[in-house]
Structure 1
Amino acid sequence: MTRVQANLLLLLAAAIWGGGFVAQSTAMNMIGPFWFIGLRFAVATLVVLPFVWLEARKAAAPLQRHDLRLFLLVGLALFGGAATQQVGILTTTVTNSSFITGLYVVFVPLIAVVFLKRPPHPIVWPAAILALAGIFLLSGGALSHLTGGDLLTVVCAVFWALQITLAGVALTATGRPLALSAIQFAVTAVAGIAVAIFLEPISVDVILSAIWEILYVGIFSSGLAFALQLIGQRYTTASQAAIFLSSEALFGASLGALLLGETISPIGYVGCGLMFSAMLMVELVPEIMRRRTLAA
């Protein structure tokens, strides 16, 4: 596979994830957020299971109990991210949700400081300030205009960063990405359904009314896009992968405007630009400096 083909696969993955924000938003007109989380990740689990079996057949050693405990923690972090994002999207726009969620790339190095005692690259600090300025402008230049959904989505980005950090540790220890995917999806499905049983009404008609959104995010956002990401990243550079995957926020905003008629103020566009710049800074600058050091 050529690098151009790989980058196109990553761009397709980002577009699928961007469409997922629209599906998550429209589904909230028909089904509760926790039922939606439980059902979408149940579908995602079923999609991944056949590949887990193939991976297990080729594995050098079976998973140990401590590996499964670590996978469980990753699943709980994924549930935290999914829950705060899905509840948040009830009172925020697809545009805001997609851009604010993307800030996990800024939070990942900060999470590594706390849990792994790993100092971040210096670029993280100006990028974090840039990201906060972007959120401020996205709110229209007044923090009072930030909705509860916007604030929950910031929390969601922290959970995504935690999930990515824990997943990195788990994959380094086991080398079993598909097993990790299935277990984290299953944990999130069980947790979502458990909460939904106590908080939200449900019926067959409700599920059927949101079935296309459930299937889209379950099969495509979780299954297909994840596979495209793994394949694409094998044949391109980390810096180029970061650029194409970060376009998820742009796709989410564009599809929100096209399909849902969402609008954003001129100052909000500036805020989106600042947040997108912060995402790229954190991903690209360390890689560029590393290459210069190696070339010197």
Structure 2
Amino acid sequence: MTKTQLKANILLLLTAAIWGLAFVAQKVGAEHVGAFTYNGIRFALGSISLIPLILFLNKKKRENEETQNNDRDSLKLTVKAGIIAGCALFIATSLQQMGVMGTTAGKAGFITGLYMVIVPILGLFLKQKVNKSTWIGIVIAIIGLYLLSINEDFSISNGDLLVLIGSVGWAVHILLIDNFTKKIDPLKLSSVQFATCSILSLVMAIIFEDINMVGISGAMVSILYGGLLSVGVAYTLQVVAQKNAKPSHAAILLSMESVFGALGGAMFLGERIGARGLVGCILIFIAIIISQLKPSEKGSKDMVENI
């Protein structure tokens, strides 16, 4: 591993830590404001925080030359894709934030992490191949989810169920982003989708929630963390780091988000997961890692070297 790759891996681990601890911020924020209010302000901050980086990179691109017509076409496509991705993001984040109110930060982190297993399942409908390791991961994930969230009477809490449905939303969102980023600038796409999610959330907050400055003030630290650190800083770190990191390393390091969520919940909120739930968490984490292992065309020896 080169020094550049090592630095990239450290940045990805830092990204996972920021995202994992965001579940703690969301849990605290939920005590003061509604889900739509929290997400509306949070994603507005996230969208705005990316603008300086976009302007800086745009300046560099202009030095390398690009026609005005291309810029206009690109802007139209970016806005269109950003609105579509933003709608998916709105659904996923709304379900997640409402779910966090009825579960622990640790459980929310692990259940959300299941999107890495759900993505290849949805990929089947797009005629994408699913390898054996992914199917093994899916089976392990189902067992882990059962131990973590399904009670002895085969019921699941409303909070866990909302976060689980939200993880399907995250999987859809990832497939959309994977498609759009092949055609347009990922930072511009992110800024537009965050703005779209913010507008939709604020509209819903005005209709369904009681927005007051006392609640917003109480949740301000959580909102700032969720908007500036979790969205702005962490996303930028991910973009920078993934240029120099191996895809397999990136997937595994980012999956540590769920572990940091559980650690944050235990450290800052005094959350405890029983032995049964702990086994479930471990199985889900193993499933996430296994589902990311892709066999190399050159054989298993190369696969081991690439991971």
What band does the TM-score fall into relative to the shorter chain?
over 0.9
Alignment partner of 1:45 out of 29, 44, 47: 47
Tell me the residue number matched to 1:32: 34
CA deviation after TM superposition for structure 1 residue 141, in Å:
5.4
CA deviation after TM superposition for structure 1 residue 56, in Å:
4.0
Alignment partner of 1:205 out of 181, 203, 214: 214
SS at match of 1:73: helix
Tell me the residue number matched to 1:94: 105
Tell me the residue number matched to 2:166: 156
TM-score, structure 2 as length reference: 0.90
Which residues of 2 match residues 1-296 of structure 1 at below 5 A?
2-57=4-59, 58=61, 60=66, 61-62=70-71, 63=74, 65-114=76-125, 116-139=126-149, 142=152, 144-174=154-184, 176-284=185-293, 286=294, 288-290=295-297, 292=299
Long gaps (5+) in structure 1:
none
Q: Which moved more, 1:141-150 or 1:19-28?
A: 141-150
CA deviation after TM superposition for structure 1 residue 8, in Å:
1.1
Residues 68 and 117 from structure 1, CA distance in 2 versus in 1: closer, same or farther, beyond 3 angstroms?
Answer: farther
What is the root-mean-square deviation in Å for CA atoms of aligned residues? 1.9
Are 2:20 and 2:261, in contact at CA under 8 Å, matched by a contact in 1?
A: yes
Amino acid at match of 2:41: L
Matches of 1:262 and 1:96, distance apart in 2: 10
Are 2:81 and 2:189, in contact at CA under 8 Å, matched by a contact in 1?
A: no
Residues 203 and 291 from structure 1, CA distance in 2 versus in 1: closer, same or farther, beyond 3 angstroms?
Answer: farther
Are 2:89 and 2:193, in contact at CA under 8 Å, matched by a contact in 1?
A: yes
The percentage of counterpart residues that share the same residue type is: 36
Residues 65 and 235 from structure 1, CA distance in 2 versus in 1: closer, same or farther, beyond 3 angstroms?
Answer: closer
- 1:96-144: CA deviations, max 9, x gaps? 1000000111111122222x32222232222112111111101365363
Are 2:78 and 2:192, in contact at CA under 8 Å, matched by a contact in 1?
A: no
Number of residues paired by the alignment? 292
Are 2:15 and 2:234, in contact at CA under 8 Å, matched by a contact in 1?
A: yes
Long gaps (5+) in structure 2:
none
Amino acid at match of 1:280: I
Q: Which moved more, 1:98-107 or 1:240-249?
A: 240-249
TM-score, structure 1 as length reference: 0.93
Are 2:21 and 2:261, in contact at CA under 8 Å, matched by a contact in 1?
A: yes
CA deviation after TM superposition for structure 1 residue 232, in Å:
1.5
Matches of 1:77 and 1:279, distance apart in 2: 22
